[in-house]
Amino acid sequence: MKLQTVKGTKDILPSEIQKWHYIERTVRRVFERFGYEEIRTPVFEETSLFLRGIGETTDIVGKEMYTFQPDAASSESLTLRPEMTASVMRAYLQHGLRASAPITKVYYISELFRKERPQAGRQRQFWQFGCECIGSAAPEADAEVIALMSMIYRTLGVQNTVLRLNSLGNLETRKRYRDALREYLRPNYEKLDAISKERFEKNPLRILDSKNPDLADVIAAAPRIIDYLDTESKAHFETVQTYLKQFGIDYVIDFKLVRGLDYYSQTAFELQSADLGAQDALGGGGRYDGLAATLGEDKETPAVGFASGIERLIIVMEKLRLFDMLEKKVPMVMFISQSDAAREWTMTAAMQCRQAGIDADVDLLRRSFKAQMKESNRVGAHYAVIAGENELQSGKFQLKNLATSVQEELTFNEILEKLKIEK
Ligand code: HAM
């Protein structure tokens, strides 16, 4: 049997890599414009980090983690990271980053792993870019993070998106709301599907997330968390919205937006695209002031961040033809040899070009002159330098402009000078 990629994973081939580079370049530029620095953390962590950080009743922890025991004789349990926020907070606490600056702003471009049923826009290994702003409890931080996410999509040209916003209040709010929601749902319990019944006790807020059309009416009439917010949370949420309005960022309030991770408090948001199918969330995030405490930290560590799926972004950008302007990288010059001795010369000459910063290519297949010329056209090289016995004797080579077919006879140094100017 032929070996293939595992279901839910994908190769990113050279023919697609330009798209990835373009997105990564743009994303880095915008993050850095807001004062963020990159962080990279290990692909696997101790399982307990995610159990405690993300929450045991979430889908991610309950059924989507790739957990393994590296050594059967030991109880050590490791997990491939399903998201970055818990890892970033672990790194922040472990390295005492709080001591070096009052606020830590980090971004990442990382691969993640979730054992999900693969479908368009949902993979088992996928990529996210995202950021975490740790150290501020102020609504300015929430507003800036949302504005940053929005600027990335605007810079990439992605339109037709909807930003959904909600507030989950503080711990006390959620406790009161959870009780109220259970009371409301109790008479409707028999109408709930199996998964919602399961969530009823453990995490009733997630029932609001259900896409089951049979539950739409029950969910639409459910009490709204906004009515349970304490004064401080309400003021926080209103300030975030005032900033968004000032920044010209459109949003809709969605009282059903609870997000699938337990660490959120106060602001929660998600960006949806009409150009995606069932998996319509391009990215999401929110405030998570309680995460550090669940990891054992006793100092207040307020934080807010977001993450965006790169595969989903690519689906949307392809649909909107936002990659059409990307040009394939082509070599400036292709060295063509007409004899064995010339081949040796072309190998050295190509190397000297590269040392001078010029993109150069040379035949590695010992092909005929005709085949080498054909290859120069196929790859779209700007120039070909043709070397045969006569050229080696005279020290003068043909430099052919492949677009105009104009040829010049030049020494190698003259060729180098000319190409250096063109590059
Ligand atoms: P999340 O909503 O779980 O949040 O994931 C963020 C984004 O990652 C999603 O909106 C989606 O675009 C993408 N994504 C998630 N799962 C998959 C999958 N199986 N296949 C493809 N793409 C996927 C978080 O991960 C939080 N850590 C975000 C955050 C950062 N909150 C605060 N800071």
283: CA distance to ligand 1 center in Å? 6
pLDDT at position 229 is 95
* Least confident interval from 251-255, 258-262, 345-349: 258-262
Model confidence pLDDT, tens digit, residues 184-206: 999 988 888 888 888 888 889 88
pLDDT at position 190 is 87
What's the mean pLDDT when you consider all of the chain? Answer: 94
Residue 127 lies in a domain: yes
Same domain (yes/no): 395, 276: no
Give residues with Cβ within 8 angstroms of 114, minimum separation 6. Answer: 60, 64, 65, 82, 124, 126
Same domain (yes/no): 248, 161: yes
Model confidence pLDDT, tens digit, residues 64-75: 999 999 998 999
pLDDT at position 108 is 98
Same domain (yes/no): 295, 343: no
Question: Which residue's alpha carbon is nearest to atom 20 within ligand 1?
Answer: 122
Residue 132 Cβ contacting ligand 1 at under 6 Å? yes
Residue 126 Cβ contacting ligand 1 at under 6 Å? yes
pLDDT at position 1 is 77
Residue 195 lies in a domain: no
Average pLDDT estimate for 315-339: 93
pLDDT at position 138 is 98
d(CA 29, CA 35): 10
Model confidence pLDDT, tens digit, residues 337-367: 999 999 999 999 999 999 999 999 999 999 9
| Domain finish residue from 284, 319, 354 | 319
Residue 176 lies in a domain: no
Same domain (yes/no): 344, 267: no
pLDDT at position 203 is 84
Q: What CA dihedral angle connects 369, 374, 378 and 380, to 10 degrees?
A: 70
Q: Which residues does residue 384 pair with via DSSP β-bridges, in sequence order?
A: 334, 400
Atom of ligand 1 nearest to the CA of 308: 7
pLDDT at position 182 is 93
Number of H helices, E strands in the chain: 15, 16
423: Cα separation from own chain's centroid: 32
Average pLDDT estimate for 234-238: 97
Residue 203 lies in a domain: no
Same domain (yes/no): 291, 362: no
d(CA 206, CA 195): 10
Model confidence pLDDT, tens digit, residues 285-311: 999 999 999 999 999 999 999 999 999
Residue 368 lies in a domain: yes
Residue 180 lies in a domain: no
| β-sheet with 407-411: strand ranges across | 360-362, 333-337, 383-387, 396-401, 407-411
d(CA 405, CA 423): 19
Residue 128 Cβ contacting ligand 1 at under 6 Å? yes
pLDDT at position 206 is 87
8-state DSSP, 61: I
**What is the span of the domain harbouring residue 266?**
14-170+230-319
pLDDT at position 262 is 86
Number of domains the chain is built from: 2
Q: How far is CA 146 from CA 162, 305, 308, 398, in A?
A: 13, 8, 12, 57
Same domain (yes/no): 305, 366: no
pLDDT at position 171 is 86
Model confidence pLDDT, tens digit, residues 382-394: 999 999 999 999 9
The proportion of the chain whose per-residue pLDDT surpasses 90, expressed as a percent, equals 82
Residue 91 lies in a domain: yes
Residue 109, domain CATH? 3.30.930.10
307: CA distance to ligand 1 center in Å? 6
Same domain (yes/no): 141, 94: yes
Same domain (yes/no): 295, 348: no
Q: Which residues does residue 362 pair with via DSSP β-bridges, in sequence order?
A: 335
Residue 345, domain CATH? 3.40.50.800
Angle between helices 85-94 and 47-54 (to 10 degrees): 110
Same domain (yes/no): 73, 25: yes
82: CA distance to ligand 1 center in Å? 9
Model confidence pLDDT, tens digit, residues 7-64: 999 999 999 999 999 999 999 999 999 999 999 999 999 999 999 999 888 889 989 9
3-class DSSP assignment, residue 272: strand
Encoded amino acid at 300, one letter: E
Same domain (yes/no): 123, 244: yes
Residue 36 Cβ contacting ligand 1 at under 6 Å? no
| Domain finish residue from 287, 319, 351 | 319
Model confidence pLDDT, tens digit, residues 90-118: 999 999 999 999 999 999 999 999 999 99
308: CA distance to ligand 1 center in Å? 6
Residue 178 lies in a domain: no
Residue 196 Cβ contacting ligand 1 at under 6 Å? no
pLDDT at position 289 is 96
pLDDT at position 145 is 98
Same domain (yes/no): 271, 307: yes
Residue 116 Cβ contacting ligand 1 at under 6 Å? yes
CB-count exposure of residue 366 (10 Å: 0-12, 13-18, 19+): exposed
Per DSSP, the residues of 184-239 read HHGGGGGGS-HHHHHHHHH-GGGGGG---GGGHHHHHTS--GGGG--HHHHHHHHH
Give residues with Cβ within 8 angstroms of 270, minimum separation 6. Answer: 163, 164, 254, 257, 259, 281, 283, 284
Per the CB < 8 A criterion, the answer to whether 334 and 156 are in contact is no
Of 114, 126, 287, 289, the residue with max ligand 1 atoms within 8 A of its CB, to mutate for a pocket test, comes to: 126
d(CA 75, CA 50): 17
Reported pTM: 0.93
Q: How far is CA 408 from CA 298, 352, 385, in A?
A: 74, 20, 10
| Domain finish residue from 297, 319, 341 | 319
pLDDT at 278 over 80: no
Q: How confident is the model at residue 277 (pLDDT cuts 50, 70, 90)?
A: confident
Same domain (yes/no): 285, 247: yes
